[in-house]
Amino acid sequence: MLTLGQKIKAIRKEKGLTQAELVEDRITRNQLSLIENGINNPSISTLEFIAQRLSVPMSYFLSNDDFSMHKCQRLVTKAESLLDSGENDKVIIEIESFLSSINGLEDHTMGDLLGRVYTLLGIAYYKSDKPKAKQMLMESIRYLEQTDHTSYLSKSYNYLGVIFDDESNSEQAEYYLTKANNLITNVNLDNVIHKLNIAYNLSLIYLKQKKYTAIIDFINDNLKYSKKYKIFHNFGAFNMLLSAAYRYTFNYKQAILCTLKAIEYFQFSDDEANKYACYINLGIYYRLSRDYENSIKYLDMAKKYFEYTEKTAKALNSNAEIVKTMFLADHRSDHFDRLLNDVIKDLNDDNDNKPDLLSIKGVCQLENKNIEDASKLFTEAEGLAKNPEHLEFISYTYTGLSKICKHNNEWEKAYKYLDKANALPHKATRNISFE
C-alpha cells in the first residue's frame, strides 16, 4: 500500500512536474521532499494546495483505493492513445508496471477498470506475443463479464476470436466472435467501425466453415451500416468475401458484380495490389460463366501487374488461371503446352492450382493416347487434391481415370471414379476424346 508521500510523488511525476514547479512559493522544495519521502506529514491546508496543483481531489490522498483508481483511469486513457499511435511496447511497459505496483489488491474495487486495462494489454501483446495476448484477454473477460462495460468486452471477445482462428480453432473463434457481435446491439457512429471489424472477422470464419448462405445474409446486413454512416470500412474486403460466397453457391453473375464493386473501392483507395488480386478473381468468375475472352483479358492484366511488381507467387497463379481458361476455350498450341509445363514445374504441391493443371495435362496426354503418362498425372492430381469440391478441374481426373479403367476392363473402378466425378459441384465442361 502506498504512503501519502508516495502518492503525491507518483501523481507529480505523471503530470511531468518537478518538485520546485509543484510547490511554487507555498512551501519549499525541501519540505516537499520530506513529505514525499514520508519523513514529514503535510498540514490539511498544504495538502489541499498540493491536490489543487495536481488537479485531483483530496480523497485520492486519503484513500488508497481512490488513489489507485485515479491512476488506473489515467492509465486507460494514456494506453488508448498509445495504441492509436501504434506504440504497443510502451503500453506493455506502462500497464505491466502498474499491475506490478497494485499486485492484485484492488480486484474487488476496480473490476471494471482492471478489465479495461487487461483488454488494452492483450491488444498491445497481440502483434508480438499471441499466447500472452490470449492470457491477458482471458483475464480481461474475467473482470468485464461481471460489469456492464460491453464495448471493451466485445473488443476482448473479438481479439480472442481472431487468436483462436490463428490457432485453426474455428469453433472457438466463431464462439467468441459471435459473442462480440451480439454485444453491439445499438450501432452508432462511435462503434460502427468496431462492429464492421467484428463482422469481417466472423465472415472469414463462416467462409472457412463453408457457411456460404450465412456469409451472404450476414455481410449484406452489415453493409447497411456502411451506407447509413457513410463509413466504407472493409468495403472492398467485404465484397471479396461476398463474391467468394456467391461463387460457391454458383451465382457467378453476383460474384462478378461484387468483384467489380471491390475493384472500384480499391481503385478509389489506391490499393493496387488488392485491385489486381480482384482481377484474378474476376477472370475466374468470367471463366466459370464461360466468358473466356473477358477471363483471359483480366487474368493477363493481373499477370503483367504482378510480374512488374515482382510478386512472383501471384504472377504464377495468374498464369495458372490463364492456362485453365485457354484449355476450356480450346486454345491449344505449342505456346499452351510450354506454358502448362512451365507453370506445373514452378507450382508447389500445396497450391490448389497444381492438381487442376495436372488434370489438364492428364487430359492432353490421354487424348494423345499416352495412357500410362495420363494415369500417372491423374493419380498425382488425385493425391494432391485436399478439397476436391473446391477444385474446378479435378472432375477431369476422375473422368479420365474412369475412362482408363474402362479401357483396361476394370469396370468396378471405372464406375467408382465416375461416381466421384458426378458428386463434384464443378463438372467437366469439355468431353475427353478418348476411346
In a domain, 193, yes or no: no
CATH number at residue 125: 1.25.40.10
Q: What pLDDT is stored for residue 268 in this prediction? A: 92
Is the pLDDT confidence value at 101 over 60? yes
Those residues whose C-beta lies under 8 Å from the C-beta of residue 214, and which sit 6 or more positions away, are 206
Closest CA to 285 of 312, 252, 309, 239: 252
Query: What is the pLDDT confidence band of residue 68, given thresholds at 50, 70 and 90?
Result: low
CA distance 36 to 19: 10
Are both 141 and 178 inside the same structural domain? Answer: yes
Query: What is the pLDDT confidence band of residue 430, given thresholds at 50, 70 and 90?
Result: confident
Is the pLDDT confidence value at 434 over 90? no
Are both 7 and 85 inside the same structural domain? Answer: no
Are both 45 and 80 inside the same structural domain? Answer: no
Query: Are residues 75 and 94 in contact, defined by beta-carbon separation less than 8 angstroms?
Result: yes
Kindly report the average pLDDT of the chain as a whole number. 90
Stretch 194-202: mean pLDDT: 96
CA distance 196 to 16: 39
Query: What is the pLDDT confidence band of residue 93, given thresholds at 50, 70 and 90?
Result: very high
Tally of structural domains, the chain: 3
Those residues whose C-beta lies under 8 Å from the C-beta of residue 8, and which sit 6 or more positions away, are 32, 35, 36, 50, 54, 61
Are both 154 and 95 inside the same structural domain? Answer: yes
Are both 78 and 173 inside the same structural domain? Answer: yes
Query: What is the pLDDT confidence band of residue 1, given thresholds at 50, 70 and 90?
Result: low
Under DSSP, the state recorded for 390 is G
In a domain, 294, yes or no: no
Are both 77 and 179 inside the same structural domain? Answer: yes
Burial-class residue 7 by CB neighbours within 10 Å (0-12, 13-18, 19+): buried
Closest CA to 137 of 109, 117, 108, 166: 117
Is the pLDDT confidence value at 428 over 60? yes
Are both 74 and 166 inside the same structural domain? Answer: yes
In a domain, 234, yes or no: no
CA distance 291 to 296: 9
- In percent, the amount of the chain with pLDDT more than 90 equals 66
Q: What pLDDT is stored for residue 219 in this prediction? A: 96
Closest CA to 88 of 116, 127, 114: 127
Per-residue pLDDT reduced to its tens digit, 257-276: 999 999 999 999 999 999 99
Burial-class residue 25 by CB neighbours within 10 Å (0-12, 13-18, 19+): exposed
Q: What pLDDT is stored for residue 393 in this prediction? A: 93
Closest CA to 163 of 150, 177, 153: 177
Query: Are residues 108 and 130 in contact, defined by beta-carbon separation less than 8 angstroms?
Result: no
CA distance 374 to 378: 6
Q: What pLDDT is stored for residue 324 in this prediction? A: 95
User: Cβ–Cβ contacts within 10 Å for residue 223, how many?
Assistant: 19
In a domain, 425, yes or no: yes
Per-residue pLDDT reduced to its tens digit, 214-247: 999 999 999 999 999 998 888 999 999 999 999 9
Query: What is the pLDDT confidence band of residue 136, given thresholds at 50, 70 and 90?
Result: very high
Are both 41 and 71 inside the same structural domain? Answer: no
CA distance 117 to 102: 13
Per-residue pLDDT reduced to its tens digit, 296-327: 999 999 999 999 999 999 999 999 999 999 99
Stretch 110-134: mean pLDDT: 91
Which H or E run includes 151? Answer: helix 150-166
Are both 74 and 56 inside the same structural domain? Answer: no
The pTM (predicted TM-score) of the whole model is 0.78
Residue 193 zone, left/alpha/beta (φ > 0; ψ -120 to 50; rest): alpha
Closest CA to 8 of 27, 22, 28: 22
User: Cβ–Cβ contacts within 10 Å for residue 202, how many?
Assistant: 25
Q: What pLDDT is stored for residue 285 in this prediction? A: 97
Domain's final residue, options 166, 183, 200: 183
Q: What pLDDT is stored for residue 92 in this prediction? A: 95
Three-class DSSP category at 256 = helix
Are both 8 and 57 inside the same structural domain? Answer: yes
Q: What pLDDT is stored for residue 171 in this prediction? A: 95
CATH number at residue 15: 1.10.260.40
Is the pLDDT confidence value at 371 over 90? yes
Under DSSP, the state recorded for 18 is -
* Full domain range(s) for residue 33: 1-62
Measured in whole angstroms, how far is the alpha carbon of residue 238 from the centre of its chain?
Answer: 12
In a domain, 247, yes or no: no
Per-residue pLDDT reduced to its tens digit, 336-355: 999 999 999 999 999 989 99
Closest CA to 381 of 355, 347, 346, 418: 355
Q: What pLDDT is stored for residue 117 in this prediction? A: 92
Query: What is the pLDDT confidence band of residue 99, given thresholds at 50, 70 and 90?
Result: confident
CA distances to 228, 239, 244, 299 from 211, in Å: 26, 16, 11, 28
Q: What pLDDT is stored for residue 42 in this prediction? A: 82
Are both 32 and 128 inside the same structural domain? Answer: no
Domain's final residue, options 156, 183, 210: 183
Are both 51 and 101 inside the same structural domain? Answer: no
Is the pLDDT confidence value at 410 over 60? yes
In a domain, 392, yes or no: yes
Query: What is the pLDDT confidence band of residue 100, given thresholds at 50, 70 and 90?
Result: confident
Under DSSP, the state recorded for 43 is -
In a domain, 255, yes or no: no
Specify the long-range contacts of residues 61-66, CB closer than 8 Å, at least 24 apart. 61/4, 61/7, 61/8, 64/1, 64/2, 65/106, 65/109, 65/110
Domain's final residue, options 32, 62, 92: 62
In a domain, 367, yes or no: yes
CA distance 50 to 23: 7
Q: What pLDDT is stored for residue 303 in this prediction? A: 96
Stretch 281-286: mean pLDDT: 97
Stretch 96-105: mean pLDDT: 74
Per-residue pLDDT reduced to its tens digit, 26-60: 888 888 888 888 888 788 788 888 888 888 877 66
Query: What is the pLDDT confidence band of residue 63, given thresholds at 50, 70 and 90?
Result: low
